[in-house]
Chains A and B, each alone.
Chain A
Amino acid sequence: MKKKLTTVAFNGTEEQFKALDALIAEHKGQAGALMPVLQGAQGIFGYLPIEVQKHIALSMDVPLSEVYGVASFYSQFILNPKGDYAVAVCLGTACYVKGAGLLMDKLESILGIKNGEITADRKFSLDATRCIGACGLAPVLTVNEEVYGRLTPDMIQGIIDKYNK
């Protein structure tokens, strides 16, 4: 799946960059250091926006294209932050045949964002996941730790409203 480019403004702090610099210094001169640095950076910032990737490229003397190549290759690296409420729709086989695709369509239209993106106010992010093991409740979605099952598209607005107060 193609990576969704970052859609929200960067608001990293000086402390975060200090932590990143310390991490890079730890891996200095080490072969194959890019992966652990990217993992650490995602831990610090929550995601890997261009500002962070550029900082890594310059500090490590690695072309930005290579940093981005790695970040866009692995699905665990994300280019958009998670919202206060991370909505994840299960698109595993069971959920999918039970109409999870329609839930996704509904969420995209209500939130005004695409799969992999975040709303401008950073309140909601939307992702598709593989099977989360709740097939008996299919189709399911999660909002942070909360699980919602046996859903139909007309139930989506109510779920979002609950968090939108």
Chain B
Amino acid sequence: MENMVNIKINNKEYSVPANSTVLEAARYAGVEIPTLCYLKDINEIGACRLCLVEVKGARGLAAACVYPVNEGMEVLTNTPKIRQTRKTNLELVLSAHKKKCLTCIRSTSCELQKLCLEYGVDEDHFVGNNNEYPIDATTPYIVRDNEKCILCRRCVAACKNMQGIGVIGANDRGFDTHIASAFEETLDKTSCIGCGQCIVACPVGALYEKDDTQKVLDAIADPTKHVAICAAPSIRATIGECFDYAPGTDTEGKMVAAMKALGFDGVYDMNLTADLTIMEEATEFLGRFKEGKNLPLITSCSPGWIKYCEHYFPEFTDNLSSCKSPQQMFGAMYKTYYAAKMGLDPKDIFFVSAIPCTAKKFEVQRDYQNAAGVPDVDVAITTRELARMIKQAGINFRDLEDEKFDDPFHIGSGAGAIFGATGGVMEAALRTAAEVLEGKKLEKLEFEDVRGTAGIKRAAYKLGGAEIKVAVVSGTANAKKLLNAIKAGKEKVDFIEIMACPGGCVNGGGQPTQPAVVRNNVDLKALRASVLYTADKNLDVRKSHENSAVKKLYDEYFGEPGSHKAHEILHTKYVKRGL
């Protein structure tokens, strides 16, 4: 039994866990206290002064987000004094906010806008010292508009506390305080990994992805271009959120229908190249494991993780799988194999990937990602950008009839489907590696130990007489912990899956934003991941090596996994960037 205390909230008695804050306790009373800066476990600094409540006997108003409950406490959450103070504080926040709400990317999903509406503020009540800041659009993935920043520091906390990176912080002080990198460097000059967790943490429109939708629309409108799109495993589990579906709703059929309605010449499933990745990566692992060379092998699907490794752990770049990510494999395969087969000039193909990720925008521009002599992928658009394109085109997403991906790249196995959740790549690889090593069919396909949203998961499996130690990590702060332990010789692992974003791609920096009230109280990562695991369970083909479309690719073109041709087209190289 949890330790409980008795408190009064708005004159009614409640029994709440002793370790809760007033903010958490108020939920027992069905009261949602407004917040702007608070993100559970990530940013608990009581700075925005929106969550102020009256606590009997306390001096002044208390910040509910950081105020612990205690026995006999009496809390009031809705008095004239509280309402007036919150309203004034909102007006003060607005005094230094660039109020370009009509055209703001976060209009209608802005947490500040919502509160201002609820509290009926006068948006011009105070005229502040509105400093001018240039927009930082120097990276291919993140745009920062500090004139909209409300200094809640959620991005700073996401970068430093959650990801263990900290390339942004609060510079100068007083009215000059602003969020930027050290010595006012632009973001492209820092060791930012492009994970985009700052974007999904931002309550307002100060951070957003570099929008590439116009490039896609231009290509679709160009009759000389063959424009294809492939959908990453996780976005079918999240794009519904942009159309008012509850988190955790599978909208694959509608997403495919919407992509077709947008006018793409081919709409394909990236689960297929997730399977292709597994074929190459499992082969690579078995080879390295036999030779005992460059172990642990570390997965390379997450471009945020790759950039993190190159900056912060360059000594591990030889451990990275040389496999391109599923996105890049798709583009590479499409512009070589499929272009030749269909008599298309790779230069006339415009290949788009729809992904949950901002770092993928960096990945498409990397070296050694141009198998056909042109970039494998032309543009990577996030889930949010895809949703915007659908809305702009007037496509009524909710009313669409489900459609299927296009032949011949419509088949993905269950193993490919779970790529979007932390542990998914490992489980997919294990399904294939185990059958190859054991030489017989697995009885149970689920590798439960590597599932779930824990930051670091470890397991050991006996396969083919040998014990294989695996680890699954999500969030770069966790990667840092594990890699430091390996460096110090405290831990020995053979195979590691690392995803830059906590929870994996389902919680990627390109996914639909959810307000703090949802993030703090709903396990978004698990809810979204459940869509992928359900899809896996319901599929007939659940192992990458049994995917008939993948088999066909090897039969017709690549020969066998790890072949010379596969290496030329499906593998890549890394650089040691350092700090």
Cβ-defined contact, A69 with B183, below 8 A: no
Closest Cβ of chain B: how far from A55's Cβ, in Å? 12
Cβ-defined contact, A66 with B183, below 8 A: no
Digitize A45-88: 1 where CB-to-B-CB distance is under 8 Å, 0 elsewhere. 00000100100001000011111110011000000000000000
Digitize B169-184: 1 where CB-to-A-CB distance is under 8 Å, 0 elsewhere. 1111100100001111
Chain A contacts for B176, CB-based, 8 A: 1-2
Cβ-defined contact, A58 with B160, below 8 A: no
Identify which of residues 132-182 in chain B touch chain A, using a CB-to-CB cut-off of 8 Å: 156, 160, 165-173, 176, 181-182
Chain B contacts for A69, CB-based, 8 A: 169-171, 182
- Does residue B400 face the partner (Cβ distance < 8 Å to A)? no
Cβ-defined contact, A68 with B173, below 8 A: no
Chain A contacts for B170, CB-based, 8 A: 69, 73
Which of A1, A53, A58, A73 meets B182, CB within 8 Å?
A: A53
Chain A contacts for B374, CB-based, 8 A: none
- Total interface residues on B, CB under 8 Å, equals 17
Which of A50, A66, A72 meets B173, CB within 8 Å?
A: A72
Cβ-defined contact, A50 with B183, below 8 A: yes
- Total interface residues on A, CB under 8 Å, equals 17
Given A1-B176, A50-B182, A53-B182: A68 in contact with B579 (beta carbons within 8 A): no
- Find the B residue at minimum CB distance from A58: B579
- Does residue A102 face the partner (Cβ distance < 8 Å to B)? no
Given A1-B176, A5-B183, A50-B183: A68 in contact with B171 (beta carbons within 8 A): yes
Closest Cβ of chain B: how far from A76's Cβ, in Å? 12
Chain B contacts for A5, CB-based, 8 A: 183-184
Q: How far apart sit A68 and B156, CA to CA, in the bound complex (Å)? A: 14
- Find the A residue at minimum CB distance from B165: A63
Cβ-defined contact, B167 with A65, below 8 A: yes
Closest Cβ of chain B: how far from A91's Cβ, in Å? 17
Chain A contacts for B156, CB-based, 8 A: 65
Q: How far apart sit A32 and B78, CA to CA, in the bound complex (Å)? A: 38
Cβ-defined contact, A73 with B172, below 8 A: yes
Digitize B548-579: 1 where CB-to-A-CB distance is under 8 Å, 0 elsewhere. 00000000000000000000000000000001
- Find the B residue at minimum CB distance from A65: B169
Chain A contacts for B169, CB-based, 8 A: 63, 65-66, 68-69
- Does residue A3 face the partner (Cβ distance < 8 Å to B)? yes
Q: How far apart sit A50 and B579, CA to CA, in the bound complex (Å)? A: 13
- Chain A interface (Cβ < 8 Å from any Cβ of B): 1-3, 5-6, 50, 53, 58, 63-69, 72-73
A/B interface sample: 6 pairs, CB < 8 A = A1-B176, A2-B176, A65-B166, A65-B181, A68-B182, A72-B173
**Closest 10 A/B residue pairs (Cβ):** A63-B166, A65-B169, A68-B182, A69-B169, A64-B182, A73-B173, A65-B182, A72-B171, A72-B172, A2-B176
